[in-house]
Amino acid sequence: MKWIFTSTLLFACVKIHAQPVFQMDSSGNWSHHFQLTVISQSHSGFSAAYSGKNSLDNAVETGATSLTTTLFLGRKLWKGAAAYFNPEMSGGNGLSYSQGVAGALNGETYRVGNVAPQLFIARAYLQQNIALGNSKYTNVADDENQVTDKVPNNRITITAGKFAISDFYDDNTYSHDPRTQFFNWSLMGNGAWDYPANTRGYTYGIVAEWYQNNWSFRLSSVAVPTIANSHKMEYHLSKAHSETLEIEKKYNINRQPGAVRFIITNSYTRAPAYQQGINALNNNNNYLLSVISGEAENNTYGGKKFGLGLSAEQALNDDIGIFSRLGWNDGKYATWAFTEIDQSASIGLAVKGTRWHRPADVAGIAGVLNGISKEHRDFLAAGGYGFIIGDGALNYGHEGIIEAYYNTYLFNNFWLTFDYQFVNNPGYNKDRGPVHVFGIRGHFAL
């Protein structure tokens, strides 16, 4: 039934866009845009010596479908300032409810209990640009969460309110947006960054950015979940918060643009240490185990997670670009917000369809290798569960993923994507897999 629903929706979108499309007028002081994305996936059956409560289903699984719609509203306020507001609706579920693979398979769906579509406020923030010295200005075109404006090249930008921290950090031209690029969680961003966010990917706080020539520096302090992977957020300066620093350098090689980004992260939460989790297993302390798996609230603070990340991208010519990421966190305390990856390395490329007379099409292929700390693997091997993975036992091996997609531009404002993922050692377990995952995506944007 889900496949029928998805096919009907995509067919409806195609029929709509065969006709002239209403174009939103974002001139003047207002900006307004809209997106709708539907993803449906299936995976093959695979061998499994055993399964646990967080395992990817080893039988054939079909028709796992997600839907998101977002309205992007923006308004100029005074010189250099704007306000942005994004109502969003999302629903559906990923394969096995987004569990069983640390590099989860659909970046548009999350671990939520209710798969019915729900309306919520994704973003609501103020942004102020402050020119530095006698800076030159660049005309910036209207876009999602960007009003038409003249922006100083050398500036300080302050953003405060509710947003996705990934809106500002770990950007990448070729691998960052699951609505148009790679589906996999560990390819849409640095998988080892347990970035602060609620279940749907948003937080609140403040981000300060300093742009100077080809350099930029970003520093933020934001809220963290009260419960692992929860919608409840908290910010206590002495107990629970997360800081992120990024240094970015843009450059040109043979007149082709490139960039390198280095990121440092540090979070303070209620997360228990994995060693505490091992002790809880030995002592049958179900309460602490429920805290680690995101089913209970911890009354004790003290969780810490320190991480580093490196990202690079380079255009080889006008049609081909390559990228790579490296990520690491200390892996001593339980994963609290994103996914259960403590080390990650990825590399890939994207190719525009110019050579086959489809300049708006993009094909991409990438590989990622994910790992976890010794404390983390010992906890899983002893029978522990996080909120994403856990098979009840563990024969550890690195989780390897290869993803390939083709994103084709069909009609005005509508794209259709075909996607394939190969997953070796899902959940870091040599006793399960490999898995073949097939997906289709429809994306409409105004």
Lookup result for tokens 């031209």: 173
* Mean pLDDT score of the chain: 92
The predicted structure's pLDDT at residue 111: 57
Q: Which tens digit of pLDDT belongs to each residue from 155-209?
A: 999 999 999 999 999 999 999 999 999 999 999 999 999 999 999 999 999 999 9
Strand duo 81-92 + 61-76: pairing: antiparallel
Q: Which tens digit of pLDDT belongs to each residue from 82-126?
A: 999 999 999 998 999 999 999 999 999 875 555 788 899 999 999
CB-based contacts of 78, cutoff 8 Å, min separation 6: none
The predicted structure's pLDDT at residue 412: 87
- The whole model's pTM is what? 0.90
The predicted structure's pLDDT at residue 117: 86
Share of the chain above pLDDT 90, in %: 90
Indicate if the pLDDT at residue 242 is higher than 60: yes
The predicted structure's pLDDT at residue 27: 54
Confidence of residue 142 (pLDDT cuts 50, 70, 90): very high
Amino acid present at 303: G
Indicate if the pLDDT at residue 17 is higher than 80: no
Give me the helix-helix angle, 274-283 and 374-381, nearest 10°: 20
Domains of the chain, residue spans:
2-445
The predicted structure's pLDDT at residue 20: 36
CATH code, 2-445:
2.40.160.10
Indicate if the pLDDT at residue 329 is higher than 90: yes
Radius of gyration of the chain, Cα coordinates, nearest whole angstrom? 22
Distance CA 422, CA 402 (A): 5
Share of the chain above pLDDT 70, in %: 93
SS (H, E, C) 54-97: CCCCCCCEEEEEEEEEEEEEEEECCCCEEEEEEEEEEEECCHHH
The predicted structure's pLDDT at residue 379: 98
Indicate if the pLDDT at residue 21 is higher than 90: no
- Region 27-31: mean pLDDT is 82
Indicate if the pLDDT at residue 3 is higher than 90: no
Q: Which tens digit of pLDDT belongs to each residue from 421-439?
A: 999 999 999 999 999 999 9
Q: Which tens digit of pLDDT belongs to each residue from 261-279?
A: 999 999 999 999 999 999 9
Q: Which tens digit of pLDDT belongs to each residue from 393-419?
A: 999 999 999 999 999 999 989 999 999
The predicted structure's pLDDT at residue 28: 76
Amino acid present at 391: D
Q: Which tens digit of pLDDT belongs to each residue from 337-349?
A: 999 999 999 999 9
SS (H, E, C) 160-195: EEEECHHHCCCCCCCCCCCCCCCCCHHHHCCCCCCC
Indicate if the pLDDT at residue 25 is higher than 60: no
Q: Is the dihedral of CA 4, 5, 6, 8 positive or negative?
A: positive
CA distances from 167 to 2, 108, 143, 229, 285 (A): 31, 15, 14, 19, 39
Structure token digits, residue 351 = 């190719």
- Region 355-360: mean pLDDT is 96
The predicted structure's pLDDT at residue 397: 98
Indicate if the pLDDT at residue 4 is higher than 90: no
CB-based contacts of 11, cutoff 8 Å, min separation 6: none
Helix (H) or strand (E) holding 369: strand 358-371
The predicted structure's pLDDT at residue 13: 40
- Region 289-315: mean pLDDT is 96
